[in-house]
Amino acid sequence: MAKVVLVTGANSGVGLALCERLLDEGVHLCMGCRNMQRAETARSALLRSHPSAQVDVLQVDTSSTISVLRAAQEFKLRYHRLDYLYLNAGIMPNPQFDVKAFFRGLLTGQVIEMLATGVGILTQKDNVTPDGFQEVFATNLFGHFLLFRELESLLCGSGQTSQLIWTSSSNAQRSAFSLDDIQHRAGSQPYSSSKYASDLLSLALNTHYNQQGLYSSVTCPGFVMTNLTYRVFPSIPAFFWTLLMPVFWLIRMFTNTFTLTPHYGAEALFYLFKQKPEALDPYSKYHSLTSGLGYTYSEARKMDVDLKTSEALYEKLLQLESEEKRKLQDQQKTFDVRKQRSG
Ligand SMILES: NC(=O)C1=CN([C@@H]2O[C@H](COP(=O)(O)OP(=O)(O)OC[C@H]3O[C@@H](n4cnc5c(N)ncnc54)[C@H](OP(=O)(O)O)[C@@H]3O)[C@@H](O)[C@H]2O)C=CC1
Ligand SMILES: CC(C)CCC[C@@H](C)[C@H]1CC[C@H]2C3=C(CC[C@]12C)[C@@]1(C)CCC(=O)C[C@@H]1CC3
């Protein structure tokens, strides 16, 4: 039987490149996308290169609780197993590039670290979702947590192993995250915070679910040219980035994190697909890397995470999950009463 794989954010960038690679392995692919038109365009492209592949689309907006719950319901009606869940959808809204910090970084010994992580030169202005959550937290982390929890029965069911694979980032930073403000309402680095939270959460999920055959891992695609990175300079057309390619190839001589293409960026995500999950290190992040000569590979690097903080975050997310569900039930009751009265 073909392995069933669900990939969120599958219609572009790293997610789409991963789908292309997974289809070479004969999987039954389900693309989780928020926009059906963009999803269908991507699905058609995948079917052009893999005409006999099984490729479905599932509508899911990870920033919306109701959308995630409906998508999980729909998934459970359509499929009886789920072998791999790639939690890849992500946003970095309104990025602000700090030119001064960039040039300061160039003049200090921090330049490689700065180019590899983007730390210190990027901040973001977050939004609030209709559910009342910080958008980056909801999209990158909480929506994915809910999706996983709703699909838990399929993932932990069959007596076989299954994998959760998060697309995190080298931009994840402990200093941007606080247990007292897990949504990062107060600061200007919601992206770093959400990615650090996914690193922590992955560790906690391994603690709680490994016995049931479910394993969670974290990846970093490196610096990849995608819609997400083009938005760092919104007024500059995408082709300008292509003009910068020779500069980036040169930088690649000094930092192997410049994977640049979505195909190379998907390397670590694809690598994990082929591993025995029991052999993976829950404390490591799996990085896609590309050498100066353009050879791509993945490498495990230890994360700056600890069990106590990961457990505390997990508890907070469970609490938030039950509050959200109660809120939705109350809304449903009010709706039913009004309907009865009017009908
Ligand atoms: N590019 C890079 O250098 C790096 C990227 N990453 C991470 O890689 C992942 C993929 O990003 P990347 O491919 O670069 O960027 P893209 O913008 O190309 O892809 C992001 C995907 O996520 C989807 N998405 C965004 N918001 C939602 C939502 N609310 N619900 C469902 N889907 C959503 C997008 O859909 P739509 O097309 O509709 O917007 C798109 O398919 C992200 O998690 C990102 O943080 C990590 C490190 C570096
Ligand atoms: C020659 C210059 C014009 C180069 C400018 C480069 C920067 C815009 C980029 C250098 C490292 C990049 C980077 C990211 C965004 C763009 C850079 C800062 C990310 C923060 C994007 C999102 C991630 O998850 C990690 C990336 C790390 C590297």
| Atom 11 (ligand 2) nearest CA | 115
To the nearest whole number, what is the mean pLDDT of the chain? 95
Which two tokens mark 244?
A: 């910068």
Q: Are 287 and 298 in contact (CB under 8 A)?
A: yes
Q: How far apart are CA 219 and CA 201, in angstroms?
A: 13
Atom of ligand 1 nearest to the CA of 92: 45
Q: How far apart are CA 277 and CA 280, in angstroms?
A: 5
Q: Are 5 and 27 in contact (CB under 8 A)?
A: yes
Q: Are 114 and 120 in contact (CB under 8 A)?
A: yes
| Atom 35 (ligand 1) nearest CA | 9
Q: Are 235 and 197 in contact (CB under 8 A)?
A: no
Q: pLDDT tier at 130 (50, 70, 90 boundaries)? A: very high
Q: How far apart are CA 316 and CA 178, in angstroms?
A: 12
Q: Are 186 and 206 in contact (CB under 8 A)?
A: no
- pLDDT for 279: 96
Say how many C-beta atoms besides its own lie within 10 A of residue 79's C-beta: 16
pLDDT at 157 over 80: no
Residue 191 is among the residues annotated as catalytic for this protein: yes
Atom of ligand 1 nearest to the CA of 17: 13
Q: Are 226 and 261 in contact (CB under 8 A)?
A: no
Q: How far apart are CA 158 and CA 107, in angstroms?
A: 55
Nearest to 314 by CA among 210, 159, 198: 198
Nearest to 162 by CA among 220, 248, 86: 86
109-134 mean pLDDT:
94
218-236 mean pLDDT:
94
Which two tokens mark 235?
A: 């007024």
Q: How far apart are CA 305 and CA 45, in angstroms?
A: 39
Tell me the one-letter amino acid at 156: C
pLDDT at 334 over 90: no
User: pLDDT for 55-101, tens place per residue?
Assistant: 999 999 999 999 999 999 999 999 999 999 999 999 999 999 999 99
- pLDDT for 280: 98
- pLDDT for 240: 85
Q: How far apart are CA 176 and CA 193, in angstroms?
A: 5
Catalytic member of 79, 84, 86, 191: 191
Q: Which residues are within 8 A (CB) of 125 and not within 5 positions of it... i.e. 6 or more apart?
A: 93, 94, 96, 188
pLDDT at 17 over 80: yes
- pLDDT for 139: 98
| Number of the ligand closest to the Cα of 166 | 1
Q: Which run of H or of E encompasses 270? A: helix 267-273
In the chain, % helix, strand, coil (3-state, to 5) comes to: 50, 15, 35
214-228 mean pLDDT:
97
Name the CATH superfamily housing domain 4-342: NAD(P)-binding Rossmann-like Domain (3.40.50.720)
- Residues contacting ligand 1 via CB (< 6 Å): 8-9, 11-15, 34-35, 38, 60-63, 88-91, 139, 167, 169, 220-221, 223-224, 226-229
Burial state string for 144-182 with b = 16 or more CB within 10 A and e = fewer than 16: bbbbbbbbbebbbbeeebbbbbbbbbbbbbbebbeeeeb
277-290 mean pLDDT:
97
pLDDT at 159 over 80: no
Residue matched to tokens 């679910």: 209
Going from the Cα of 140 to the center of ligand 2, the distance in angstroms, rounded, reads 18
Q: Which residues are within 8 A (CB) of 170 and not within 5 positions of it... i.e. 6 or more apart?
A: 116, 117, 118, 220, 222, 257, 287
- ipTM comes to 0.98
Query: How many H-runs (helices) and E-runs (strands) does the chain carry?
Result: 15, 10
Q: pLDDT tier at 107 (50, 70, 90 boundaries)? A: confident
